[in-house]
Amino acid sequence: MNIPQSSNPRVVIIGGGFAGIALAKKLSKQEFQVVLLDRHNYHTFQPLLYQVSTGGLEPDSIAYPIRKVLQGYPNFYFRLAEVLKVNTDVNLVDTNIGSLKFDKLVVATGTETNYFGNTELEANSMAMKTIPQSLNLRSLILENFEQALLTDDLHEREALMNFVIVGGGPTGVELAGALAEIKKGILPKDYPDLDTRRAQINIVQGGDRLLPAMSEKASEKAEAFLEELGVNVWKKLRVSGYDGKLATTNTDISFRTETLVWAAGVKAVSLKGLDGEAFVSRSKRLLVNEFHQVKGFDNIYAIGDVAQMESEAFPHGHPMMAQPAMQQGENLGNNLVAESKGNSLKPFSYRDKGSMATIGRNKAVADLPKFKFQGVFAWFVWMFVHLYFLIGFRNRVVVFINWVYNYIKFDREARLIIRPFKNHFKTKE
């Protein structure tokens, strides 16, 4: 990998997400050689992926080059690499570009979509965990409307305009709200020759309320906001199969749809060599102690979504959210520095700053530690918080300008089919 030998201990970080970047920033001015490996050369701001999928934002404005985050730090190395295996007995990681020795290894690989073993659903549904997946979804949504214009078959047309989102967490709720706004504000103008009132947006939730990790009030309000926007909210219903045309459920309800988005579960990205039953939880997360060490190892750590730190307050680990990931990265960084200087280590303690979800223009729900509120004010707070945590000044400015423009014009200008998803629309480039 052409990483020079150094007298400083080598810390290899796998993953440039919220956790990996927070840690790398803490270590970049310290006496370590830091090597960050990621399969993408950019950090993805996942909370805004749904806006890319629905044409509200360009992908560039929610991605940030990892090399730029840590520019100017001589002890920092980035390699674009997919980590394949960890050889714990000889402290070596194998990647698609070669192998690398480590003194300390930090796994920050996040999560991937969980289909719970349903291969049919995996093959036919759309996921929204990465920028390429979000761009695929954007293309598919737009291509379906183009195709709906071409068919005389009413059933086919309705299936092309019928959207099913499985999963009533923040991702599902935010996507459903954004699609409803497109239906109302954009489709009638873009497709005057298509009866877009027939487009249906369905959100299917297995449990008895949306946003189950938030307060009951937030759930109720989110449901009311979605219904106000014309979304069909299905609760206590589970999608059990989808062949690309028909989604079946655990009841006799089924949906004819050409677009099914699976937002009903995630599992940790596991690595060969670090998948032992002794230290992996049911959701494939790595069991760690309060100092982020993977169970049974002194020099292997896990932070962010991939880590499960069980405590009395969090018996199943911390929520899979950006805040715990960043806080864990920072705490581990401080501890590695403290350890190198012979100082005592600080056990991790999560400061819950609350959670939020937006449903659409002027509509959001916020559960902060001291206040819970919904509506316009929550929407402004949601926007401010997302702008604040977005990496890069340019990205903040671009996103802000886009939001102001979209708000004033009721528009989403990034509704572009750059790379067609369906064979039907593929042409010579």
Name which position in 105, 226, 320, 378 contacts ligand FAD (CB under 6 A). Answer: 320
Selection from 41, 37, 40, 39 nearest residue 65 by Cα = 41
Q: Coil, strand or helix: which one is 268?
A: strand
Q: Is residue 174 among the annotated active site residues?
A: yes
Q: Using CB under 6 A, which of 233, 300, 325, 336 touches ligand FAD?
A: 325
Nearer to ligand FAD, 77 or 249 (CB): 77
Show the binding pattern over residues 248-267: x = contacts ligand FAD (CB under 6 A), - = does not: --------------------
**Binds ligand FAD (CB under 6 A): choice among 11, 12, 27, 37:** 37
Cα→Cα distances 388→243, 285, 313, 320, 385, Å: 41, 29, 28, 19, 5
- Per-residue binding letters, 64-83, with ligand FAD (x by CB under 6 A): ------------------xx
Identify each DSSP E strand in 15-161 by its residue range.
Answer: 33-38, 42-44, 63-65, 76-80, 83-87, 92-95, 98-101, 104-107, 111-113
Q: Which of 143, 158, 174, 181 is flagged as catalytic?
A: 174
Q: Name the residue number minimizing CB distance to ligand FAD.
A: 17
* # of chain residues touching ligand FAD (CB under 6 A): 33
Establish if 269 lies at the interface with ligand FAD (CB under 6 A): yes
Shortest Cβ 77–ligand FAD spacing (Å): 14
Number of CB atoms found within 10 A of residue 180's CB: 23
CB count, 10 Å around CB of 27? 27
Of 108, 214, 231, 302, the one binding ligand FAD by CB under 6 A: 108
Nearest to 176 by CA among 198, 197, 200, 203: 203
Residues numbered 120 to 139 that lie near ligand FAD (CB under 6 A) are: 128-129
Task: Among 3, 9, 40, 124, indicate the residue that binds ligand FAD (CB under 6 A).
Answer: 40
Residues binding ligand FAD (CB under 6 A): 14-20, 37-40, 46-47, 49-50, 82-83, 108-110, 128-129, 170-171, 269, 304-306, 320-323, 325
Catalytic residues: 174
